[in-house]
Chain A
Amino acid sequence: MTLVHAPSPATTPARPRPGRSRPLRRHAWSLLFLAPAAVWLAVVVIYPVFATIRYSLFNDSGSFVGLSNYKNLFTTNSLLIPFRNNVIWVVIFPFFVTVFGLVFAVLSERIRWATAFKAIIVMPIVFSTTASALVWTNIFDLDPHVGAVNAAVQAVSDWFNPPGAYPVDTAAGQTVAALASAGDRSANGAILSTATVHPGDTVRLGLIGISPLTLQRLGAKPPRQPTAAPGSITGVVWRDFSPAHPTDRSTLYPDEQGLPMLHLALLGAGGSSVASTTTDTRGLFRFSGVPPGTYRVQVVPSNFQAGFTGTFWLGPQSLTPTGSASQTAQALLSVPLIDVGMIIAYLWIWSGFSMVLIGAGLSALDRQVLEAARVDGATEWQTFRRVTMPLLAPVLTVVFVTAVINVLKIFDIVVNMAPGASQQQANTLALQIYNSGFSGGIHTGLASAIAVILFVLVVPAMVWNLKKLRASNT
């Protein structure tokens, strides 16, 4: 506002007039005191705004190109995704930051330890956005050993679906079939001996691709040749990989290892399980008292259950199926998962701020009105809905509009949180300014044009906010 007023007195020069009036002199004094701030603002705000507009009309080599930078932006699809993301941010973030701020503000008025509660909610504001982004990048990390969210999902998932001793991560492209060394088949996540066996026979099942770390953990020992026993089916399951003979399969070597704790099933002629057993530390097993007949030995699927290995929460995948829509429609309609992660992180940062603002509004409320409502028999909810909310409306709108301005220029959280694979999907207008203007090549004209577009988008919200503030001041 200073900006608006400052130049106008400057245009009315204090002409030396005999017997200057007192108000004018006071005016001159206030001008003098305003000058440093006005000059400062002119240099760091007003000049850059006009310089940016000017730059946006020139190309990289400095020749005037009129509106061709704008034409470039509006006729190629380079701004589609940034624009869509800005819309997503504006639609989701201001609403939730206001709601959370309101809930926290109301709650903190009625709970014990309110100061501690407020301090915790407000604390994220003192961290730099970069630090917060790093914290949340770790919280959302793909590896459940690092990421808290995936660790929590894993804890629940493993409870219902416990991982086996020999996990095969199918999500990472591993297959149970690849574990079966020469000769044996796999079906439905199990490995089946090819040979049919009868009581008194021995079975050898070689598996490859078993991590040495797993074997170490299970205390595996070198395998033994199984000994045949009448009326029993005996055998060995072992890691069919010898470092000394890396390409030789199905021979038992002393530097190989038996696979302990494998659950096995004996399948009868009909393919149904008739007995089950578990291997020992040398990979040996025995099905005793088997009636005559033909059987197969199966390594059951539960051994290879991988359990939950993590969701890429900051990944580029879309939450809204866009199917066979055109490329442009896909770019406009998809909501990438990463946006949700970033918005959660940003809410964590800013909820405290909106709580403070709304809290201030709450404490300034006329308590008599609230009491009157209660005396009239209104319930808590009715009081809140019909009295508190309308009275708070001006504060809420200021918080909301400030949040809109804040997320229109969202940059730091995106640049710091989006992993490479999702950066394109997470792009925003402000990040695109940076990418065009500073990262890689320097396209000052193009970047300036985006900046001007962003400026135009922010102005209505800003003007509205200023008007509101001015109205509430008077």
Chain B
Amino acid sequence: MRNQLRSARLAVLGTAVATVSLIGATAGVSGLAATAGAARAPHARAHKAGGSVSVWGEWSTTEQASFLAAVKPFEQSTGITVNYSSKGSNMDTAVEAAVAGGKPPDVAFVPDPGTLDTLASQGKLTPLAPVLGPLVKNYGPAWTKLASYHNKLYGVWYKAANKNTVWYNPALFKEAGISSTPTTWQQLLTDSATLQAAGVTPVSLCTDIGWPVADLWQNLYLKSAGAANYNALAAHKIPWTNPTVTRAFDLLGQLVGHPSYLLGGTQGSLANKYPNCVDKVFPKPGTMPQAAMVIEADFVVSEITGNSANYTAGTTGKGGKACTANPSQTPCYDFFPFPAPAGSAKNASALQGAGDVGMILNDTPQARAFLKYMATAKPAEIWARRGGLTSPNKTVPLSAYPDPVTRADAKELVDASGFVFSLDDLQGSWEPQLWQDMLNFVKTPTKANIASIERTMQSQANTAFAKAGKK
């Protein structure tokens, strides 16, 4: 996830970055000033406690403003000041370095359960079950398991991203006479053929430096092999030459081995960067969509709605008018859950995604109070209403989400029977090589190449895990 965001940010022009961060910084500063003011207000002091809690997270700019808004009620009711500092995309490194240096923040939100495991194994974290009490039940078993180490809970999930999504332009589906979205991978391929007969290119395949292809492959692996195999593969406990791996490549080959299903064919796909690949399905006004579907996580929504305020979530356009392909009129966007291959229905509600988990690194009463608050529905609800957050917390009312698409997205997260993190993000040093291997497959999606790619991946993983094992 963080890599995705990093790459996405890279694509933005320098000036835009500068402007945005300037605005963000201003918002952040004024937000901090506002919270500090609130803490000093006399009615707040009347309550009790006081003091402060230092919090690190990866959220900056608008996300930082939303987070500060979400913790404001906590500051007001307890008089505890939240000193938030954003570490950007380097959260894991920053936290591990701070812990090693002996000066960790009180609370940190990390985008990687691996960091939670590492720190828990070193005994640096506070067990949360006694702190949270009944609040533990706000999360489904899949989430509790992910925030636990040796069956002890150490983390509170606050924000989650869902990669189990295929985004489509409803107007183009309608043009091709497709009235219901595919529920199996095979159906997706059949619908692709229909779209093509209608003269609509089915898929704008995001490739970038390989991570979007890895996301797609991981969805196929999770759906065809199940969460147990997925986690075993992620931990390099089953080899990359395993038949389950071959099966996932075969499934991917059914799409990428059909260049005419891909916008620009194979060559065009290899040049398709994120987020441009999203813009080709949901363009800015003035251009028409070039393809019907884009397969990526729910973070594409900000790109779509950023392209034009005309975009409406769901299959009904603005003002109840029919969705149009023309982004200057009443365009729409919607998603369907990533379809499992036929015969793998039992894995259908296992999701791939990412999330930020909060943990206590300095056991203070303020930190405990803060994390207790973060496990309630309130902070998630505040951010959700502002847009840009989906929470795995069951008690967050779906009505808090601003539109039907986000609501469906959040419901998927809450109902997930299993939740797995992006496998590539758990590979450590060979992650960029894994991405290259995925691109190699897009380049040459043949059976013979699958075998050779698998051998390469196995040896890369061996090297990487052998090194990591020496630690």
Contacts and interface: CB of A to CB of B under 8 A. Distances in A.
A441 B265 contact: no
Nearest to A146: B276
Interface string A289-332: 00000000000000000000000101100000000000000000
Q: Pick from B10, B13, B429 the residue with the most CB of A within 10 Å.
A: B429
A423 B266 contact: no
Contact of A246 (B178, B264, B325): B178
Interface in A145-187: 169, 171-175, 178
Given A142-B264, A243-B174, A441-B428, A420 B259 contact: no
Interface in A230-251: 239, 241-247
A209 B197 contact: yes
A172 B429 contact: no
B176 A172 contact: no
B199 A239 contact: yes
Interface stretch (B33-41, B149-157, B204-212, B329-337): B204-212
Interface residues of A, number: 47
B431 to A, nearest CB: 4
B429 A214 contact: no
A241 B198 contact: yes
A173 B430 contact: no
Interface residues of B, number: 49
Interface string A41-61: 000000000000000000111
Contact of A173 (B178, B207, B266): B266
A421 B177 contact: no
Given A174-B265, A243-B176, A440-B428, A421 B439 contact: yes
A315 B176 CA distance: 33
B167 to A, nearest CB: 20
Interface stretch (B102-110, B236-244, B462-470): B462-470
B175 A243 contact: yes
Interface in B405-432: 427-432
A245 B194 CA distance: 11
Contacts of B268: 142, 172
Given A246-B197, A440-B428, A172 B470 contact: no
Contact of A443 (B263, B264, B429, B431): B429
Interface in B242-298: 258-260, 262-268, 270-271, 273, 288
Contacts of B318: none
Given A128-B14, A173-B258, A246-B178, A440 B431 contact: yes
Contact of A142 (B14, B174, B271, B432): B271
Given A59-B470, A212-B199, 20 more contacts: A171-B265, A171-B267, A172-B263, A178-B260, A208-B197, A208-B199, A211-B200, A212-B325, A241-B198, A243-B175, A243-B176, A246-B177, A246-B178, A312-B270, A315-B270, A419-B270, A420-B436, A421-B271, A421-B443, A442-B93
Interface of B: 10, 13-14, 93, 174-178, 194, 196-200, 207-210, 258-260, 262-268, 270-271, 273, 288, 325, 427-432, 435-436, 439, 443, 464, 467-468, 470-471
16 contacts: A172-B262, A172-B264, A172-B265, A173-B260, A174-B260, A208-B196, A209-B196, A209-B199, A243-B198, A416-B10, A420-B209, A420-B270, A421-B207, A435-B432, A441-B468, A442-B429
Q: Which 5 A-B pairs have the closest CB atoms?
A: A441-B429, A173-B259, A172-B265, A420-B209, A246-B177
